């Protein structure tokens, strides 16, 4: 059964009110992209968790070793200004390897960030189309249900007539 114009207008109004916003998706993408919040918002849970994992790997293996290296460098330069390599160079290989893993995660996040800039409009459109389809199916299902029979009319003298 085809929907009436009024039903179609009602569906579009509900999609406008309850659908996903491209502007909000872009704001979440811009400010919280590494954490995948825009993907959570658009219902892409698995890829959002993957982005979050990459960001955690980046933080653990790039940012933290980098900060340790900075503090270690300044402390060793103070204590051993002439023999830094001999006295303080032992952990450089370990931190260098960890930082390589973190840098690889950072590059993956950066590429994903750029790609998502182009994917967001399609993701929003798909999500709103899903909502529109669901609302149309609900509207069609409720219009296909026959109207309930009316109550018997009271004739005023205590007798009732039944509808035919």
pLDDT tens for 35-73 read 999 999 999 999 999 999 999 998 888 877 777 777 776
According to the model, what pLDDT value does residue 146 have?
63
- On whether residue 43 sits in a domain, the answer given is yes
Look at the block and give the residue holding tokens 């003298």.
157
Q: Is residue 152 part of a domain?
A: no
| Mean pLDDT of the chain, nearest integer | 83
In sequence order, what are the beta bridge partners of 15?
Answer: none
- C-alpha to C-alpha distance for 68 and 99, rounded to whole angstroms: 11
Residue 83 resides in a domain: no
Residue 11 lies in a domain: no
The whole-model pTM stands at 0.72
6 within domain boundaries = no
Q: Calculate what percentage of the chain has a pLDDT beyond 90.
A: 50
**Is residue 147 assigned to a domain?**
no
Is position 126 within any domain?
Answer: yes
pLDDT tens digits, one per residue of 120-155: 999 999 999 999 999 999 988 887 666 566 655 565
50 within some domain? yes
Q: Which domain holds residue 47?
A: 20-78+91-136
Domain tally for the chain? 1
Classify residue 36 as left (phi > 0), alpha (psi -120 to 50) or beta: left
**Distance between terminal CA atoms of the chain?**
27
């Amino acid at each position: 059964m085809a929907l009436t114009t009024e039903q179609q207008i009602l569906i579009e109004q509900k999609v406008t009110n309850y659908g996903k916003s491209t502007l909000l998706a872009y704001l979440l993408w811009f400010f919280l992209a590494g954490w995948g919040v825009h993907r959570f918002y658009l219902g892409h849970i698995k890829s959002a968790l993957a982005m979050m994992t990459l960001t955690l790997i980046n933080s653990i293996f790039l940012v933290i070793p980098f900060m340790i290296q900075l503090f270690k460098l300044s402390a060793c330069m103070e204590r051993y200004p002439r023999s830094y390599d001999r006295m303080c160079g032992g952990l450089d290989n370990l931190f260098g390897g960890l930082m390589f893993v973190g840098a690889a995660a950072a590059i993956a996040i950066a590429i994903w960030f750029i790609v998502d800039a182009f994917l967001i409009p399609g993701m929003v459109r798909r999500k709103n189309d899903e909502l529109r389809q669901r609302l149309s199916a609900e509207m069609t299902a409720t219009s296909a249900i026959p109207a309930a029979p009316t109550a018997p009319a009271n004739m005023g003298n205590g007798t009732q007539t039944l509808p035919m």
